[in-house]
């Protein structure tokens, strides 16, 4: 196999400080392994609060940001990389911060004509005292990913979730509460502004939670999703519109719900740094389009180089085309 990154120094940021640290370690290791197979000289950086000093000493040509969650995905690390003038993968400071803040992202998406759930931000103590909207509804941390801090309040629930006022709650004083959308769990990867395909996620768990996402056997994926053609196409177009409205670049993943009884498709959120673990959705969608994992990592890295003004590395990484139902 040719080595299009031969001699290039790439720092892979992984681990980090968020509640999604363990997932990031797996994503980062997989990406670092791929970069080494592609010929890069890889520095694996477990990103702590000294990351600026570490990177200033390493002086990589580009950073592959495999961090997930707060601090690594919300614009903070992106700001550090901008200050150091190091090209980096995925979204910039503004898009990262916007997408991570669910309330602000929903406002931007709604203004762009993307259908999103209703609801809003509430003080967590108010949420724990009484139902702030008729069940069923969802309570979630406003700036977390991987379904961390998410609770579903079912239709006949006697009381709201008390977890939001426990001492272990570290996800902020205000939480997002929105109506529960029944139906199919969908995901659409968007690469270079174009949707790849639609995946339906099936799980035996109550919902697509952290374990369903990352534990072996926690979920199964139908690629491409078996949907009415108009729904499949709408999911693709909504995801592209969301990617553009938030100012995203590189690869993102939109999560959607389809109420097949009432024929309602709603976009829940946009993930600016999708998981790159063995069970992750975006690598699976890329493979469905004929782009293997190493080629996907190469494209993401090449995209960062090109935007950073370092010039192209190789012309071998193709953007996956649009899927079809």
Active site residue ranges:
20, 146, 214, 253, 255, 269, 271, 275
CA 161 and chain centroid, separation: 25
> What is the Cα–Cα distance from 225 to 293, expressed in whole angstroms?
21
> What is the Cα–Cα distance from 184 to 277, expressed in whole angstroms?
23
> What is the Cα–Cα distance from 261 to 298, expressed in whole angstroms?
41
Contact 148, 19 (CB under 8 A): yes
| Secondary structure string (H, E, C) spanning the chain | CCCCCCCCEEEEEECCCCCCHHHHHHHHHHHHHHHHHCCCEEEEEECCCCHHHHHHHHCCCEEEECCCCCCCCCCHHHHHHHHHCCCECCCCHHHHHHHHCHHHHHHHHHHCCCCCCCCEEEEHHHHHHCCCCCCCEEEEECCCCCCCCEEEECCCCCCCCCHHHCCCCCCCCEEEEEECCCCEEEEEEEECCEEEEEEEEECCCCCCCHHHHHCCCCCEEECCCCCCHHHHHHHHHHHHHHHHHCCCCCEEEEEEEEECCCCEEEEEEEECCCCCCCCCHHHHHHHHCCCCHHHHHHHHHHHHHHHCCCCCCCCCCCCCCCCCC
> What is the Cα–Cα distance from 237 to 262, expressed in whole angstroms?
20
């Amino acid at each position: 196999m040719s080595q299009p990154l031969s001699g290039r120094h790439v720092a892979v940021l992984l681990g980090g400080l968020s509640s999604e640290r363990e997932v990031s370690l797996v994503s980062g290791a997989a990406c670092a392994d791929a970069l080494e197979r592609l010929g890069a000289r890889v520095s694996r950086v477990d990103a702590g609060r000294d990351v600026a000093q570490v990177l200033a000493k390493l002086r990589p040509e580009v950073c592959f940001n495999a961090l997930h969650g707060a601090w690594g995905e919300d614009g903070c690390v992106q700001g550090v990389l901008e200050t150091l003038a190091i090209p980096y993968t995925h979204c910039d400071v503004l898009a990262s911060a916007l997408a991570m803040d669910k309330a602000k992202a929903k406002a931007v998406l709604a203004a762009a004509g993307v259908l999103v759930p209703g609801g809003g931000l509430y003080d967590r103590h108010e949420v724990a005292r009484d139902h702030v909207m008729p069940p069923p509804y969802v309570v979630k941390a406003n700036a977390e990913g991987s379904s961390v801090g998410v609770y579903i309040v079912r239709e006949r629930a006697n009381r709201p979730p008390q977890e939001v006022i426990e001492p272990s709650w570290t996800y902020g004083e205000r939480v997002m509460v929105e109506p529960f959308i029944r139906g199919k769990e969908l995901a659409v990867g968007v690469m270079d502004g174009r949707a790849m395909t639609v995946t339906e996620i099936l799980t035996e768990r109550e919902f697509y939670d952290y374990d369903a996402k990352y534990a072996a056997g926690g979920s199964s994926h139908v690629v491409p999703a078996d949907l009415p053609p108009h729904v499949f196409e709408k999911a693709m177009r909504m995801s592209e519109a969301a990617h553009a409205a938030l100012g995203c670049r590189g690869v993102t993943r939109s999560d959607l719900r389809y109420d097949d009884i009432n024929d309602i498709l709603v976009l829940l959120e946009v993930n600016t740094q999708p998981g790159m673990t063995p069970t992750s959705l975006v690598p699976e969608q890329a493979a469905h389009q004929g782009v293997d994992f190493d080629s996907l990592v190469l494209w993401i890295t090449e995209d960062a180089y090109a935007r950073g003004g370092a010039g192209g590395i190789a012309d071998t990484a193709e953007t996956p085309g649009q899927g079809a139902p």
